[in-house]
Amino acid sequence: MKAVLLAGIALSVMTVGASAQTYVLGMKGPGAGNPFWAAVEAGAMAAGEEAGVEVIVVAPPQESDVQAQITQIEDLIAQGVDGIALAPTDPNALAPVVDAAIAQEIPVVFVDTQGINEGVSFIGTDNQAGAALAAQYMCENLPEGANVAILQGLISQSTGQARAQGAQEGLSGCGLNIVAEQPANWDRAMGMSVAETIITGNPDIQGIFASNDNMALGAVEALKQAAMLENVMVVGFDANPDAAASILAGELTASVAQSPENMGRFAIESLIALSNGETIEEWIDTGTVLVDASNAAEYQ
């Protein structure tokens, strides 16, 4: 993995303000109602404004709506946009669309979720390392042998796979007992429903890791309704404002912060650099930070 701050790219951005280029940010889900995607969008729009280029933001109505995202990107390729930053709902299903863009000499980068197309750079988090950070926190704050569970995201996505793997290896590696690993597809309502099932079957559970904050907050609601929240640690991933508020309220225990605004910003800067004939790193890692009551106020 290679990590880099895009200082060089940021400098090149300032030279193309009059180009009237159009770049696309194709997100996995809408920013409305999801602070993570809202932050990715804000970063992309800010970069576009600073560079004097147009940024079009599109997203399927739900993160599981693969066909809607394919159609959106196909339409934008037909319009002849100047570059596409894509967070693929399903990397395998989106691969032909990415190949089609490349065939039209449209630069493409992956954002948040890594695709499978060779030679396309990835801008986002080392999700496995971030989940391992969450697991380490749980290991340090739960007794050895404690029963824990994992709420997985969409396992068809590299993000879901990496977070599940990092959590599984970290939790089992320190001697915690994983009693359930079930997908809740990044969704808050599904996170609540799946957590209800898990805690009903495991009333002595002491910890839940959720692969994003939406699912974590759903798990918190399930535990509150079961009057179990005081005895169960819940750790999420993203450290979005809703999660930070929950941590400060003493409900969600912790989360792992990404840099979603930088993802959007670096994505547009990277596309501009590629359009100018420059090269970028294969992987631009935006990093992770453990967020608990001691620093959650910084993420509201």
pLDDT at 74: 98
The candidate with the shortest Cα–Cα distance to 235, out of 176, 157, 155, 280, is 176
For residues 40 and 31, the answer to whether their CB atoms sit within 8 Å is yes
- Note the pLDDT of residue 158: 83
User: What is the rounded distance in angstroms from the CA atom of residue 181 to the CA atom of residue 209?
Assistant: 10
pLDDT given for residue 156 in this prediction: 85
Closest CA to 210 of 188, 187, 237: 237
Which parts of the chain sit beneath pLDDT 70? 1-19
Query: Whole-angstrom Cα distance, residue 62 to residue 39?
Result: 17
Alpha helices in the chain (DSSP H): 7-13, 35-51, 66-79, 91-103, 127-141, 158-173, 188-201, 213-225, 241-248, 260-275
The pLDDT assigned to 43 comes to 96
Distance between CA 261 and CA 249 in Å, rounded? 25
Decide: residue 227, CB within 10 A, 0-12 exposed, 13-18 middle, 19+ buried.
exposed
pLDDT of residue 11: 31
Nearest one of 272, 210, 275 to 246, comparing CA atoms: 210
| Tokens, residue 218 | 């759903």
Element (H, E) at 32: none
Report the alpha-carbon distance of residue 182 to residue 193 in Å, rounded. Answer: 11
Q: How confident is the model at residue 10, as a pLDDT?
A: 36
Instruction: Give kind and range of the element (H or E) at residue 108.
Output: strand 108-111
Give the whole-angstrom CA distance, residue 31 versus residue 44. 12
**Phi, psi torsion values for 291, nearest 5 degrees:** -115, 120
